[in-house]
Structure 1
């Protein structure tokens, strides 16, 4: 069983169909990047969301970001962190302001770090993560050396450490 979680709690009626190339045809389906680009090239109205795999170049999506409501980035395994970089690039370098969803192997200890990279919703299937999120037991580390895309209060600057301006 999978559930959608945001910082406000579990989402009960999420309109998006994340399974690649399946489901609704009313703009709420989330096709793969290749399908999305092919639809756009064919002149069809592409979906309002897209699923990006970790081995795909996020730059191919940049010309279409203003028309996208949702970008789903997949974590195929807990030890594959390429989607962290994709999220940070989308938010910081490319200015994407729409919904950014983590899918795949989303674990409880990674969610605070995903929030820092700009994710705002998560498809959670892990039983331990579901239980801890239901109990509102999301922990994290209060201080970080590296700046965040979202969610950090300003910290003092030190010559030896990068940080948000105080």
Structure 2
């Protein structure tokens, strides 16, 4: 299983398996005895079955709307956002919305086509765990999380832009 890097640079083992969306006409199959991430809309559809389980989290695809979980996001131990291609930036918006609008405080994980040069920007959008693309060297990830010493804009990691921080 691939390792996960936390926003503080620590590495830990990935105990979560991503369960792909079942094909048309098939039912969702969750592996026995393993923590699973299921599509967010399917978690909501099976809410009575899945609510309160610490071994079930959800994942969003880049075209999914985080509003699906409005009022229920805090019930999840982990939310993952899939970045299907590095040029698809919709996952950044999903991360910010989950943190800022819906107040999600649990683990927010980036999965999919996650590259080293994206890590600090994902972190600024509220992601606190990352599963790198298989061909990337995770030992270089910690340095990439804090590549820039200062940032100009306000984001989930700081509520003031640089000019206000310098003035105070």
Same fold (TM over 0.5): yes
Give me the whole-angstrom Cα distance separating, in 2, the residues matched to 1:60 and 1:165.
Answer: 40
Is the CA contact 1:71–1:99 (under 8 Å) kept in the aligned structure 2? yes
Cα RMSD (Å) of the superposition? 2.7
Match of 1:147 in 2: 154
Is the CA contact 1:74–1:102 (under 8 Å) kept in the aligned structure 2? yes
**Residue correspondences, number:** 156
Quote how far apart the aligned CAs of 1:91 are.
0.6
Give me the whole-angstrom Cα distance separating, in 2, the residues matched to 1:67 and 1:38.
Answer: 15
Among 52, 56, 73, the alignment partner of 2:64 is 56
1:118–1:165 Cα change, 3 Å = farther
Gaps of 5+ in 2: 21-27
User: With structure 2 as the length reference, what TM-score do the two structures score?
Assistant: 0.79
Which segment drifts farther, 73-82 or 123-132? 123-132
Quote how far apart the aligned CAs of 1:114 are.
0.6
Give me the whole-angstrom Cα distance separating, in 1, the residues matched to 2:63 and 2:131.
Answer: 20
Structure 2 residue 130 is matched with structure 1 residue 125? no
Gaps of 5+ in 1: 158-162
Match of 1:38 in 2: 45
